[in-house]
Structure 1
Amino acid sequence: MMGGATPPAPLRPLVSRSWTRVLGFGLDPTHANARDPLPWAEVERRRHHSPLALVIDEIRAVLTSVADASRFIVVVTDADGIILWREGSAGVLRKADGLGFTEGATWTEDHVGTNAIGTALAEQAPVQLFSAEHFEEGQHPWYCTASPVHDPRTGALLGVVDVSGPALTLHPALIALVDTATKLAEARLWRHHEQSLQRLRRSAEHVLATTTGPVLLVDDDGWVAHYSGVLVRDRIAAPRADLPLTVPGLGLCLPERLGEGWLVRPDERGTSLTARLVSVGGEAVLEVAGTPDGDAGWRVSLTPRHAAVLRLLAAAGTEGMSAAALSRALFGDEEHQVTVRAEVSRLRRVVGALVAAAPYRVAEGVRLTCDP
């Protein structure tokens, strides 16, 4: 136990891992640590920008209808562990106020110790904690059941749904209830995504009807709303203004902004893109020339590692390099393939997919030269 005594029963591995993390933060288990509540205006701003605002009504429908009868409260946080929404039993809400369990408060492990919200964020998994499994003694009269909510499109963590109440009122069905609420929220988010693509498709109907040849219509994240003349997966690399994009089956494309989305089609001018890797004041810079039709060129600074990758791919030519080959060239062995894949992924976000994958290579339609 935190006071040094032997616990009456062995700690669950999840609780042991959390206590180990929390002890490293220097928190005090005998009193409430800082919750750092945000101003109400910032809470409102976060609510407005949170994707969970789209599904908060569905979460309420599942959980709060029985909150008063069951004596618990429902709490929804963002990915930073900041409480954005909270409602439920009036009596339990008053007790939560005294604990600092309020809107705007931060309930991550490094702020308030082991708790279902913070531990669910740390473990990226559903968590239920009971009584003295909490780090702070003030939380011992409570139980908490929490589950992360993820973006069904990308897998990104959006926040946590939590149910909390007096420890003696814990009902075993609450785990299933919270799990149902999070699954419903993720399903509704996917439906909102589909509806957004439908709206984008309708808004672009007049342009698509007069467009010939292969074409894609995608949203800002690269999700495909419409395709014609080319077989694609559900998603391509996210388009960016004035940055070239390579799409399997289309080759080199220059995305065009269309309403709230992007029109992606092959460069009809048939011109190649010329890029040059140079050193400016000791810094690696990639310079991409403009097109003969007057499109402006652009330049971007690169990290030494990204510059090294580009030089290797330029030397490899059309055959390209595998992750294993890049690992050998960069690190002297094949044990760093995960690192290589992550670095190339970051590089492609910077240079607008001038680098193609499978194998890694300079994309078709791009002529890259590297100064000594």
Structure 2
Amino acid sequence: MLVAANVSGATLHARCTAARRLSTLVNVAEAPEPELLRDPESYARLLEHVREAVLQGVPGPRPPRSVVSDSWNRSLAARVDPDEGEAPFVFDTEALASLREAHPLAPVLPVLRQMLVSIADDAEHVMIVTDADGLILWREGETAQLLRGDRVGLTEGTRWSEAAIGTNAMGTALATGEPVQIHSAEHLVRRYHTWTCAAAPVRDPETGVLLGSIDVSGPLRTVHPAMISLVTATAQLAEGQLRAHLAVRDERLRRVNMPHLEALRGRPGALLSAGGRVLAAQACLLPSTVDVRRGGGTVALSDGRLATVEPLAEGYLLRLSSGGAGQRSRLRLGYLSDGAHSTTVDGREVPVTLRHAEILTLLALHPNGLSAERLALQLYGETGNPVTVRAEIHRLRSQLGAQVVQTRPYRLAADVDADFVRARTSLRTGSPADVLRVFRGPLLPESEAPAVREERESLTAQVRQVALNSEDPGVLWSFWETACGVDDLAVLDALLETLPAADPRRAAVSAHRARLA
């Protein structure tokens, strides 16, 4: 159960301000107006006039907020009675207990307690958690406020969807999927006009579907404009905890089911969660989620490939055809750049860490392969540990596929197109212009791996010398545009010697040279 606590108004204001900074989901344009803070009761009377005018179809003192107007339209279409409506009682205590136990938000209640306790102001708020249909599962607050809630059906087992009881923070947050604050006569049903409430939806981190809402409700005089930010921050915290729980479940599922994947003996396949998320893969590239049907069967991937999905005790095993015999993957490495590096497999970009990019670089430079010991030395120097290398290779094979990175020794078994290898080839066989067409920046400039650093410095030095020897302003300009040449005085001087006086590039070079002098 959630626990209420007494905190001062000053403390609440400070915590409201902090939560407002935390929240990025609140639509400020749709927030209640500043009159709430200055004079909530006068604002409530204004809202009453607005509501009556809308229901009677006559001009009013002002239009309702669009979020409220849309909610009123949905509620009236569901035949909610604005004057006599009442939240329906759906489940008794015994039935509610089993629903609570099975609900996905039950594991994060301790976190909700910690957050929601801090938003009770003199114990005059009722704090509520609903399911996705607006059923109140948990409610907590000071006794007098709970009794006040009982009188209007604001209690466990009642349903507060818009279709059941009209516009209210819980139901409207669930209907829109966005946090919302509803004050006084913005509630469609008259009996709730003495209440103010704020609610935010909570979503399943795996599927994105709504799980329920978190709400804070109280009498008009307890309204605070930042309450919507507080419930939003609480919902974000709950979703974060659900993601943490999901990660634990994923790891357990991987550990338990990995023997099924290993039994494929290197053939393309993957472990999937019950929702179809890819938890581990070998010898294939897959989207992050596969559309699976209960019971498994044949599924078509987004790129047209067919796969067979077999149910496991938890999740699924996916088997994928590897294509024609002898077919090799295409690995493209774009690592000569002043910016981010790029890795693609069969035309699909795969985000890899700097460490994995370093491994791919070294394997591309050693097509016959490297042992774990040699690779550790080239990556880490004398302190390198082969065990660390083996772990990194395992992760890389899981990401790119065993058909790309093979073992004994570690080597690339794909058709490799690496820009730094092409640059080396151009240095031997091409013209200076060919070299500079390939060389667009230093090799993995952030890498501190000894062998990569050595290759970077050697390649840069050779390209620099080619540019200087060329006496070609186009080649020199291309090298100057890279991070390697931008502040190179020799390159700048060579450009000033070779660029014609009328060339507009000469002024830029001259100005930069002057700044470095």
CA distance in 2 between partners of 1:241 and 1:119 (Å) = 36
Q: Which amino acid aligns with 2:77?
A: G
272, 275, 285: which one aligns with 1:231: 285
Q: Structure 1 240/251 Cα, relative in aligned 2: closer, same or farther at 3 Å? A: farther
Which residue of 1 is the match for residue 319 of structure 2?
265
Which residue of 2 is the match for residue 221 of structure 1?
275
From the two aligned structures, give the one with the greater strand fraction.
1
What do residues 340-361 of structure 1 show as CA deviations (whole Å, max 9, x unaligned)? xxxxxxxxxxxxxxxxxxxxxx
Aligned pair 1:77/2:134, yes or no? no
Aligned pair 1:254/2:308, yes or no? yes
> Following superposition of structure 1 onto structure 2, how do residues 299-318 of structure 1 map, counting pairs within 5 Å?
none
Q: Secondary structure at the match of 1:192?
A: helix
What do residues 265-292 of structure 1 show as CA deviations (whole Å, max 9, x unaligned)? 1369x9xxxxxxxxxxxxxxxxxxxxxx
* Offset at residue 242 of structure 1 (A): 5.4
Q: Which amino acid aligns with 1:112?
A: I
100, 105, 110: which one aligns with 1:47: 100
CA distance in 2 between partners of 1:110 and 1:262 (Å) = 38
Q: Which amino acid aligns with 1:83?
A: I
What do residues 188-208 of structure 1 show as CA deviations (whole Å, max 9, x unaligned)? 222222211101011123344
CA distance in 2 between partners of 1:242 and 1:93 (Å) = 48
Which residue of 2 is the match for residue 181 of structure 1?
234
What do residues 310-366 of structure 1 show as CA deviations (whole Å, max 9, x unaligned)? xxxxxxxxxxxxxxxxxxxxxxxxxxxxxxxxxxxxxxxxxxxxxxxxxxxxxxxxx
Q: Structure 1 145/265 Cα, relative in aligned 2: closer, same or farther at 3 Å? A: same
What do residues 63-85 of structure 1 show as CA deviations (whole Å, max 9, x unaligned)? 12442635211111111111111
Q: Structure 1 101/247 Cα, relative in aligned 2: closer, same or farther at 3 Å? A: same
88, 102, 110: which one aligns with 1:57: 110
Which residue of 2 is the match for residue 309 of structure 1?
none
CA distance in 2 between partners of 1:134 and 1:151 (Å) = 28
Which residue of 2 is the match for residue 146 of structure 1?
199
* Offset at residue 250 of structure 1 (A): 10
* Offset at residue 168 of structure 1 (A): 0.5
Q: Which amino acid aligns with 1:62?
A: M
Q: Secondary structure at the match of 1:204?
A: helix
Q: Structure 1 35/214 Cα, relative in aligned 2: closer, same or farther at 3 Å? A: same
Q: Secondary structure at the match of 1:110?
A: helix
Q: Secondary structure at the match of 2:105?
A: helix
Aligned pair 1:107/2:177, yes or no? no
Unaligned stretches of 5+ in structure 2? 1-50, 325-517
What do residues 40-98 of structure 1 show as CA deviations (whole Å, max 9, x unaligned)? 23322322332222322222211124426352111111111111111122221111011
CA distance in 1 between partners of 2:302 and 2:283 (Å) = 12
Q: Structure 1 38/6 Cα, relative in aligned 2: closer, same or farther at 3 Å? A: farther
Q: Which amino acid aligns with 2:291?
A: A
CA distance in 1 between partners of 2:240 and 2:261 (Å) = 29
Q: Structure 1 190/70 Cα, relative in aligned 2: closer, same or farther at 3 Å? A: same
Aligned pair 1:211/2:264, yes or no? yes
Runs of 4+ in 1 over 6 A off after TM superposition: none
Aligned residues: 269
Query: Which range moved further: 209-218 or 181-190?
Result: 209-218
CA distance in 2 between partners of 1:250 and 1:204 (Å) = 27
Which residue of 2 is the match for residue 342 of structure 1?
none
Query: Which range moved further: 22-31 or 68-77?
Result: 22-31
What do residues 228-259 of structure 1 show as CA deviations (whole Å, max 9, x unaligned)? 11122221122543521234789433323333
Unaligned stretches of 5+ in structure 1? 271-372
Q: Secondary structure at the match of 2:122?
A: helix
Q: Secondary structure at the match of 2:79?
A: coil
Could you state the TM-score of these two structures normalised by the residue count of structure 2? 0.48
* Offset at residue 8 of structure 1 (A): 4.6
Which residue of 2 is the match for residue 195 of structure 1?
248
* Offset at residue 176 of structure 1 (A): 1.4
Which residue of 1 is the match for residue 142 of structure 2?
89
Which residue of 2 is the match for residue 18 of structure 1?
71
Q: Once superposed, what is the RMSD of the aligned Cα atoms? A: 2.5
CA distance in 2 between partners of 1:90 and 1:24 (Å) = 36
Which residue of 1 is the match for residue 215 of structure 2?
162
Which residue of 1 is the match for residue 179 of structure 2?
126
Q: Secondary structure at the match of 1:30?
A: coil
CA distance in 1 between partners of 2:257 and 2:79 (Å) = 56
Question: Is contact 1:67–1:89 with CA below 8 Å preserved after alignment?
Answer: no
Question: Is contact 1:64–1:87 with CA below 8 Å preserved after alignment?
Answer: no
Q: Structure 1 198/19 Cα, relative in aligned 2: closer, same or farther at 3 Å? A: same
Could you state the TM-score of these two structures normalised by the residue count of structure 1? 0.66
Question: Is contact 1:68–1:89 with CA below 8 Å preserved after alignment?
Answer: no
CA distance in 2 between partners of 1:252 and 1:15 (Å) = 47
CA distance in 2 between partners of 1:18 and 1:221 (Å) = 32
Question: Is contact 1:214–1:250 with CA below 8 Å preserved after alignment?
Answer: no
Q: Which amino acid aligns with 1:197?
A: D
Q: Structure 1 251/111 Cα, relative in aligned 2: closer, same or farther at 3 Å? A: closer
CA distance in 1 between partners of 2:204 and 2:184 (Å) = 31
CA distance in 2 between partners of 1:173 and 1:214 (Å) = 52
Question: Is contact 1:62–1:181 with CA below 8 Å preserved after alignment?
Answer: yes
